Amino acid sequence: MPASLRLISEARPLIDVRAPVEFAQGALPGAVNLPLMVDEERRQVGIAYKQQGQSAAIALGEQLVSGDIKQARIAAWQAYLTERPDAVIYCFRGGLRSQIAQQWLNDAGIVRPRIAGGWKAMRQALCQRVDAAAEQPMLVVAGLTGCAKTTLINRLDNGVDLEAYANHKGSAFGRQPEAPATQIDFEHALAARLLALPGNLIMEDESRLIGNANIPLTFWHAMQKAPRVRIEMPLDWRLDQLQHDYIIQLEKDYVAHFGPAQGWELMQRQLGNALIRLGKRLGNARLQRLQRLQVMAFKAHEEGNPQAHEAWLAPLLTEYYDPLYRYHLEKQRATAAPDLHIGDWDSCLEAAKQWSA
């Protein structure tokens, strides 16, 4: 493992001194954004650099970030380092911004290292780790919607939970209260997990797009060729799983994030919009029928009967998701390895453990 990636594998705290707009596009795992320049300051310095050159840009930066503003930036770094004294500094290329932050802290009596090559070099190393993982032995856990594939993955020491890194459960109904991960953050989170897994890998059967994130192509191709275990569970069992994941737990997450009233409203809107997004595939008549059933279920839910959601979840499974999955399963058989095991949830968990061993 490259020495720089030990910062990620050891979960070292990192101070990202890039502007907030850069951080929002994707950061290194474990980083907090304490910028040297905010977005507007960075924009002005960038214009000066293009029009007048580096010296003029540096002079403008020193003018914009001076006095009380400079002291506030230093104070933010100091406060973070008081709690996490082993933190490391980085900027985009490991150049001027992290060097300035390092020097200002040094002047304040705090000596901290910075990442050579910065975010760019680290991102390249993390992406290389994902590509290299395509050569590792893989096992894919398949099964119809509601078979608790993600739960099985997380019971394994070598499980790779792609949905967790994407912050999305993978289907039209998979949106979470927090924003889905950016492509960059998804790739970095995946790479961070892979740093701890040099051997066999087990992951869920996913489409390439999970929320806003695409599984990197080399890794995706390896998944498609990997052997599978396929979970087969009865409809009632699967509906219980969906009830927990997409109704009970989703409500808890929304309420925790937004409060009872707004959380309940946003959860209903999320599930309602998910049906609408499937409208073209469902057809107008079926969509309207499911929407009516969903509205009735939410009314019953408010009156203390969340189990009423089975009225629209069951036909959604049997009429849409199950046929769609079986269609994709037939297509996969042309290129994928034969199923290693087909059985119930417990037997598939045991088969995955045996394969890992």
Catalytic residue numbers read 91
- CB count within 10 Å of CB 3 equals 7
Cα separation, 107 vs 57, whole angstroms:
23
Cα separation, 110 vs 268, whole angstroms:
50
Q: Return the ∠ at Cα 138 (arms to 342 and 216), rounded to 5°.
A: 120
- Full 3-state SS string of 28-68: CCCEEECCCCCHHHHHHHHHHHHHHCHHHHHHHHHHHCCHH
- What the block records as the tokens of 89 is 């500094």
Cα separation, 158 vs 191, whole angstroms:
14
- What the block records as the tokens of 196 is 């701890």
Residue 207 region, left (φ>0) first, then alpha (ψ -120 to 50), else beta?
beta
